[in-house]
Structure 1
Amino acid sequence: MSIAGAAQTATVTPEAVAVAALATGVIWLLLGVTGAAERVVRWIGRPIIIGITLGLGLAFMLQGTQLMATAIWFAAPLLLVTILLLVRKAIIAMLLILVSGVAWALITDPSMNTALAATHPGFVSPEWPFANLSWAAVFTGVVMLALPQVPLTLGNAVLAPVEFNNKEFPQRPVTERQMAVSTGIINTLGSCIGAVPMCHGAGGMAAQVSFGARSGGAPVILGALLIVLALGFSDSLAVLLRLFPQPALGVMLFLAGLQLALGSCDFARDKGERFVTLGTAALAMWNVGIAFLFGILLLYIARRGWLRL
């Protein structure tokens, strides 16, 4: 279960979530500053990294397909037209999905117009989340939330983004150390205002690249928009998010997963390593953390010559 998902349960308090963010930040700062993140990557090997990236791409495609199935006669033509537009005009493809999604939401949900009319801006300042901190919240945040997420974050937020970035933008490579340190910084600072634990995520990067992003300006624009919504429209967020319905989101997820998977088709020539890559990818579609641990074990077995393929 992810931290965001666990936070929706009644047993997890806002203080525990803030502690989880702080613990996550400290963990990744230590792993990055000490160079441990890069040493782990050198130790586990590329077959596992490629497998995790491929599995994430396939998982996004599967989830996108499931979302598109909620209104397939709307989503299928939208997907086809978007693919055709991506070849030449990625920005137009993005605008098409946004406009089509809003139109679909307004047409299929009669209550949307009334709900939108009731929305209004109102500044809400963040609060210090540790004022009522308890040892129970510390235990839940560190042991139950932050620590179990380390393998998942390593795969989805460090290994996969570095692999994807360095293939898409070889002239601007990044390292696992940079990703780990930046993950630590955003979580440490975010915990001070009660933010949930965050990471870079390969899926978000793949989605932005799919629709034309070629620099850090894209996440800066997205981040600025989210800050405005959080500070000025927090009471209306649920309504505003309904403007982007599941079928349109499915199209974006499918294309993001396709972009991520395409960059992961660099299989090794050795049959054993290909076996490790595909096995890791299959498990990564279900749970990245388990796939990471399973891949390490499987690669060890393959390199010892214990596999008969």
Structure 2
Amino acid sequence: MAHSFRSQSDADLEFSANELTGALGDSVTVLPLVVALAATTTVSLPHVLVGFGVFQIVWGLYYGLPLSVEPMKALIGLAIVGGLSYAELAAAGLLAGSVLLLVGYLGLVGKLQRIVGEPVIRGVQFAVALLLLEAAVDLSVGNPPIAVAGLVVVGVLALAGYGAASVLVVLGLGGIATAATAGIPTPAIPELALFPAGPPSISTAAIEGTVAQLGMTIGNAAIATALLCGDLYDREISADALSRSMGLTCLAAIPVGGIPMCHGSGGLAGKYAFGAQTGGANVLLGVGYLALALVASGVVLAAFPMAILGVLLAVVALELSRAAFEPVSNPWSLALVVSVGLVGVAVNVGIAFGVGAVAYVALQHRPSASETG
């Protein structure tokens, strides 16, 4: 079946204060990871930020919703801890992009969504929320006084009815602290080149990383995000469309210095939690990433107090948890959501997705009370 990439947007873009604060709510799922990646690999941080900036704008305009554009967390995590070199990361991203584009065009993600069942997808959302909360704690413990101060600011503004503004205030304070520590850098335009950080290199580790990432991406970034679009914005976006757009993003961005990117329920929940309602949030955030790319260096972003991002990441995690559990209506569905979430944190989100899918099918075919009585 042929698919076009004609815009699916049926909503006007807004550029209000809520769109700005919502946009920044997505950045807290991106900046800590890309800073760590830049510190541990040969990746070019300005090129990475350009990739995020361009595709935030592209998909915000295309879908008309504040969809997230996030790093592929399994692959990026492997690269940060040394499991993948940058060359292997680039190869894995190209492999994942090719698969996502293919299965999206064939309509296989939507079929998988119907087989897997909603409780499993809710469980993936819960797993991502727990992982975000874990990351928030890790970021915060490095500087407890800053984390506590951030929590106080968020709490006071929330009690005063300005919860969405808290992200802008807190990140603004972090920016001031960064400028005081690192100074004001001289702007520089990133050089346009093919694979500026080195060519891709396929390996067993790259293939294994791709398989692990695809389980998480299909479960969280395609199916769970499609579900969340309906929950939060009452818009029907197919999981196959999201799979195609993620595939195109990887295949277009990686050759010019980007990293593997996807959509994600965590970033979408973050934008919603801080007020975003339209694709205008993506345009604002995209422009912000492009501006940051002009002055980005490992020194500048490493100077940002990560404990502040940890506080905001915790807010995102709570919003995603709420979205995961709110529609659950029966005990066995609740048990499956919790089980998938805990396995995702303890082992791997992709494995949790697969195990949960098998459990869901088994539960669907279990004997009823009338059959056993």
Which TM-score bucket, shorter chain as reference? 0.7 to 0.9
Distance 1:9 1:75, change over 3 A: closer
- Comparing 281-290 and 32-41, the one that deviates more: 281-290
Distance 1:79 1:165, change over 3 A: farther
Using the TM superposition, give the Cα deviation of residue 84 of structure 1 relative to its aligned residue in structure 2, in angstroms.
4.4
**Contact residue 158 and residue 166 of structure 2 kept, 8 A:** yes
**Contact residue 107 and residue 240 of structure 2 kept, 8 A:** yes
Q: What corresponds to 1:109 in structure 2?
A: none
1:106-145 to structure 2, matched below 5 A, reads: 113=181, 115-117=182-184, 119-129=185-195, 137-140=201-204, 143-145=207-209
Distance 1:42 1:228, change over 3 A: same
CA distance in 2, matches of 1:276, 1:11: 31
Q: What corresponds to 1:85 in structure 2?
A: 157
Measured against aligned partners, the alpha-carbon deviations of 1:204-244 in whole angstroms (never above 9, x if no partner) come to 222222111111122222223223333x23xx422321353
**Contact residue 51 and residue 280 of structure 1 kept, 8 A:** yes
Q: What corresponds to 1:101 in structure 2?
A: 174
**Contact residue 16 and residue 140 of structure 1 kept, 8 A:** no
Measured against aligned partners, the alpha-carbon deviations of 1:272-308 in whole angstroms (never above 9, x if no partner) come to 332212101112234211110121222233334389x
Give the AA of the match of 2:314: F
Using the TM superposition, give the Cα deviation of residue 176 of structure 1 relative to its aligned residue in structure 2, in angstroms.
0.5
Q: What corresponds to 1:293 in structure 2?
A: 354
Of 312, 319, 327, which aligns to 1:252? Answer: 312
Corresponding residue pairs, total = 295
**Contact residue 164 and residue 273 of structure 2 kept, 8 A:** no
Measured against aligned partners, the alpha-carbon deviations of 1:171-192 in whole angstroms (never above 9, x if no partner) come to x221101211110111111122
Distance 1:223 1:300, change over 3 A: same
CA distance in 1, matches of 2:131, 2:166: 22
**Contact residue 65 and residue 250 of structure 1 kept, 8 A:** yes
Using the TM superposition, give the Cα deviation of residue 14 of structure 1 relative to its aligned residue in structure 2, in angstroms.
4.1
Q: What corresponds to 1:155 in structure 2?
A: 219
CA distance in 2, matches of 1:104, 1:228: 19
Q: What corresponds to 2:210 in structure 1?
A: 146
**Contact residue 47 and residue 267 of structure 1 kept, 8 A:** no
Give the AA of the match of 2:183: L
In structure 1, stretches of 5+ residues that fail to align are: 107-111
CA distance in 1, matches of 2:187, 2:286: 18
Distance 1:10 1:206, change over 3 A: closer
CA distance in 2, matches of 1:259, 1:63: 15
Q: What corresponds to 2:77 in structure 1?
A: 5
CA distance in 1, matches of 2:320, 2:198: 42
**Contact residue 206 and residue 260 of structure 1 kept, 8 A:** yes
CA distance in 1, matches of 2:196, 2:204: 14
Distance 1:22 1:92, change over 3 A: same
Q: What corresponds to 1:26 in structure 2?
A: 98
Distance 1:78 1:12, change over 3 A: closer
Query: TM-score normalized by structure 2?
Result: 0.70
Q: CA RMSD in A?
A: 3.0
CA distance in 1, matches of 2:98, 2:271: 28
1:25-104 to structure 2, matched below 5 A, reads: 25-86=97-158, 88-103=161-176
> In structure 1, the residue corresponding to 2:183 is in which secondary structure?
helix
Measured against aligned partners, the alpha-carbon deviations of 1:69-128 in whole angstroms (never above 9, x if no partner) come to 33434423532431442473345312221133245557xxxxx53x325x3222231321
Measured against aligned partners, the alpha-carbon deviations of 1:126-157 in whole angstroms (never above 9, x if no partner) come to 321299858xx133585233233110111221
Query: TM-score normalized by structure 1?
Result: 0.83
- Comparing 289-298 and 77-86, the one that deviates more: 77-86
> In structure 2, the residue corresponding to 1:7 is in which secondary structure?
helix
CA distance in 2, matches of 1:132, 1:247: 32
CA distance in 2, matches of 1:86, 1:214: 19
**Contact residue 70 and residue 247 of structure 1 kept, 8 A:** yes
**Contact residue 17 and residue 141 of structure 1 kept, 8 A:** no
Of 250, 256, 281, which aligns to 1:193? Answer: 256
Using the TM superposition, give the Cα deviation of residue 19 of structure 1 relative to its aligned residue in structure 2, in angstroms.
2.5
**Contact residue 154 and residue 166 of structure 2 kept, 8 A:** yes
In structure 2, stretches of 5+ residues that fail to align are: 1-72, 369-373
> In structure 2, the residue corresponding to 1:127 is in which secondary structure?
coil
**Contact residue 15 and residue 129 of structure 1 kept, 8 A:** no
User: In the alignment, is residue 238 of structure 1 matched against residue 298 of structure 2?
Assistant: yes
> In structure 2, the residue corresponding to 1:2 is in which secondary structure?
helix
**Contact residue 32 and residue 178 of structure 1 kept, 8 A:** yes
CA distance in 1, matches of 2:332, 2:365: 10
Using the TM superposition, give the Cα deviation of residue 8 of structure 1 relative to its aligned residue in structure 2, in angstroms.
4.2
CA distance in 2, matches of 1:92, 1:270: 36
Give the AA of the match of 1:179: L
> In structure 2, the residue corresponding to 1:124 is in which secondary structure?
coil
